[in-house]
């Protein structure tokens, strides 16, 4: 999306799906929550807690932080924050699915393994107060359905295509990683 190279709110308005006024409010809120214009993992968790109060173990926050930290420097700056927020809340269906794929791709290698999928699902269930979900069997089934070539790995193309054709998965993802509803 090119958000890492933006230098001004005008450019961010072009790159994101936010108006000038929304960007200003986001910037003011972001600046208030950060001392140096960057959110480390702890500050991000504080921000996260205001929207996801039901996640006492904070399992999901690491995965979200990783997807917002585009340049992997251990901080989320305003550009990364607003670009990630734009994709997650107002992106096209394909952008949202690609962003969600990145949440599930825990080790950032461009594929999702069954273990990664189940790890994220556990974090999502924990966020919703479910400790040992029976639904993990559904996760195994979903993984097999998404792994169209049967190699034990799900690529971004397999993920996007597979989720689009599976209404159950689409609904699960809408409920589990829907930041717009909480923001």
How do residues 14-54 score in pLDDT, each as one tens digit?
A: 889 899 999 999 898 898 888 788 999 988 888 877 766 55
Judge if 85 and 101 occupy the same domain: no
**For residue 7, what are the contacts with CB-CB under 8 A and spacing of at least 6?**
none
The answer to whether position 3 is within a domain reads no
Q: For residues 38 and 43, give the distance between their C-alpha atoms in angstroms, rounded to a whole number.
A: 9
Instruction: Count up the domains in the chain and report the number.
Output: 2
pLDDT score at 114: 96
Judge if 84 and 129 occupy the same domain: no
Query: Average per-residue pLDDT in the chain?
Result: 83
Judge if 97 and 153 occupy the same domain: yes
Judge if 101 and 133 occupy the same domain: yes
Angle at 159 between CA 153 and CA 161, to 5 degrees: 130
The answer to whether position 138 is within a domain reads yes
Among candidate residues 36, 66, 90, the one where a domain is terminated = 90
pLDDT score at 166: 86
Nearest to 61 by CA among 49, 73, 71: 49
Judge if 133 and 152 occupy the same domain: yes
Question: pLDDT tens across 90-134, in order?
Answer: 888 899 899 999 999 999 999 999 999 999 988 888 777 777 667
Q: Which domain holds residue 77?
A: 9-90
Nearest to 105 by CA among 156, 167, 58, 173: 156
How much is the pTM?
A: 0.82
């Amino acid at each position: 999306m090119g958000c890492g190279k933006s230098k001004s709110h005008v450019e961010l308005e072009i790159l994101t799906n936010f108006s000038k006024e929304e960007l200003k409010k986001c910037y003011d809120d972001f600046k208030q929550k950060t001392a140096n214009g960057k959110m480390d993992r702890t500050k991000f968790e504080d921000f996260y807690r205001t929207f996801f109060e039901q996640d006492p173990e904070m399992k999901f926050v690491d995965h979200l932080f990783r997807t917002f930290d585009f340049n992997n420097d251990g901080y989320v700056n305003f550009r990364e924050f607003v670009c990630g927020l734009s994709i997650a809340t107002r992106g096209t269906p394909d952008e949202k699915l690609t962003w969600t794929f990145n949440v599930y791709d825990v080790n950032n290698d461009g594929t999702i393994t069954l273990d990664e999928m189940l790890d994220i699902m556990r974090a999502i269930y924990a966020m919703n107060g479910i400790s040992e979900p029976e639904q993990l069997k559904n996760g195994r089934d979903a993984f097999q359905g998404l792994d169209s070539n049967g190699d034990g790995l799900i690529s971004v193309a397999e993920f996007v295509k597979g989720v689009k054709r599976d209404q159950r998965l689409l609904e699960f993802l809408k409920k589990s990683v829907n930041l717009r509803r909480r923001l």
